[in-house]
Amino acid sequence: MTDQTDALDRTALETRGISGWAYGLEDRVRFYEIDLVRHVNNISFLRWFEVLRVRYFLDYGLSDYSHSDSDPQLVVRHQTTDFLAPMHMDQRYVVVGRITLLKPTSFVLAAAVFADGMLRAQGETVMISLEQDGKTRRPHKAEAVRKIIKCDAPEMQT
């Protein structure tokens, strides 16, 4: 996946037959993402989830990746993925993401890949927000929290 694609909003996703998601990226399978049995290698799905995750964080204002004291370190704590159906060379796909659980210093980001109207993979990533020391928990930016609540309507825990 390239990171040059424009983000898709809820309306754009719904026109592609994908409902229940407010953020996504569209692309096509590249040759280097194919394995020896000529379908998408499992690691490619994880890379697509990572590209989506970084773009989501930037677009929602969770981080600007400046590594300055005013910016959090967003750290992957745990990740799961279910690989549900194969994909092939040049196949168009949409990878989507949303925060499903929001806590003061952590959250769960759900992600999924759709192609040809079918769910191909899905997963969840538990993320924590830390100060630049890499140890101290850091609350999320207030503006980012407002946007997440508006767009994703996550479960909230204190």
List C-alpha distances in Å: 76 to 2, 120, 138: 21, 22, 14
Dist CA 74 CA 63 (whole Å):
8
The domain segmentation of the chain, as residue ranges, is 7-153
CATH number given to 7-153: 3.10.129.10
> Sign of the C-alpha dihedral, residues 120, 154, 137, 139?
positive
Round to the nearest angstrom and report the end-to-end CA distance of the chain.
Answer: 35
- Whose tokens are 């967003």? That residue is 74
pTM, entire model: 0.94
List C-alpha distances in Å: 66 to 121, 128, 132: 31, 17, 11
| Degrees to nearest 5, angle at CA 119 with 58 and 62 | 15
Dist CA 143 CA 132 (whole Å):
20
Structure tokens at 155: 């479960």
**Cα-to-chain-centroid distance, residue 54:** 7
pLDDT in single tens digits along all 158 residues of the chain: 665 678 999 999 999 999 999 999 999 999 999 999 999 999 999 999 999 999 999 999 999 999 899 899 999 999 999 999 999 999 999 999 999 999 999 999 999 999 999 999 999 999 999 999 999 999 999 999 999 999 999 999 98
